[in-house]
Amino acid sequence: KQFNYNLYQKYILNKKKKEAMKNRLKLLCVFGCFLCYFFADGCTYSFGLLYPELLANFNQTNSHVAFLSGLIYGIPQILAPIVCHLQHTFGCSRIAFVSAFLLLVSYSSGYYATRIELLWLSVGVFTSLGLECGYISGIMFVSTYYNKRRALFTGITTAGGGVGIFCLTYLLAFLTEKFTYRGAMLLVAGLCFNVAVSASLFLSYERSLKVKKSSANRRHSQQNVDGEQVGFCVGLCQSFAGGRAAVRPRLLIFCACHSLISMWVMLPWTLFYTHATGYGQLNAAEASGLQSAMGLLTALGQIAWGFAGDRANPLYLLCLCMLLAGACCALIGWAVGLASLVPICVVYALTNGGLVSLLTVCLIRLSGLSNLHVTLSVASVLGGATSLAGTSIAGLIADRFGYQAALWTAGGAVCVTSVALAAFVASFDRQLLVRNDDNADNAASVGDADMDETKTPMKPRNSDANCDELNELGDASVHDVV
How open is the CA angle 144-150-151, to the nearest 5 degrees? 130
Q: Say how many C-beta atoms besides its own lie within 10 A of residue 245's C-beta.
A: 11
pLDDT of amino acid 442: 52
Report the C-alpha gap between 380 and 378 in whole angstroms: 5
pLDDT of residue 417: 92
Q: What is the pLDDT of residue 322?
A: 92
Closest CA to 162 of 364, 360, 383, 351: 351
Per-residue pLDDT 10s for the chain (482 aa) are 455 656 666 666 667 767 767 777 777 888 888 888 898 888 888 887 888 888 888 887 888 888 888 888 888 888 878 887 888 888 888 898 999 999 999 888 888 888 888 888 888 889 889 988 888 888 888 877 777 777 778 778 877 887 888 888 888 888 888 888 888 888 988 888 988 888 888 887 777 766 554 434 444 443 443 333 333 334 444 444 444 445 567 788 888 888 899 888 888 888 888 888 887 778 888 888 888 888 888 878 877 887 888 788 888 899 999 999 999 999 998 888 888 899 999 999 889 878 877 888 888 888 877 777 678 778 878 888 888 888 888 888 888 888 888 899 999 999 999 999 998 888 877 765 555 445 445 544 545 544 454 444 444 444 444 444 434 444 443 334 33
φ and ψ at residue 163, rounded to 5 degrees: -65, -40
What are the angstrom distances between the C-alpha of 124 and each of 69, 73, 110, 306, 449? 8, 9, 10, 30, 65
389: nearest Cα among 12, 52, 168, 74: 74
Flag whether the pTM goes above 0.85: no
Question: What pLDDT, on a 0 to 100 scale, did the predictor assign at position 452?
Answer: 52
- Selection from 247, 267, 260 nearest residue 376 by Cα: 247
Domains and CATH numbers, the chain: 22-209+247-433 (1.20.1250.20)
Helix, strand, or coil here: 326? helix
Residues 246 and 375 sit within 8 Å (Cβ to Cβ): yes
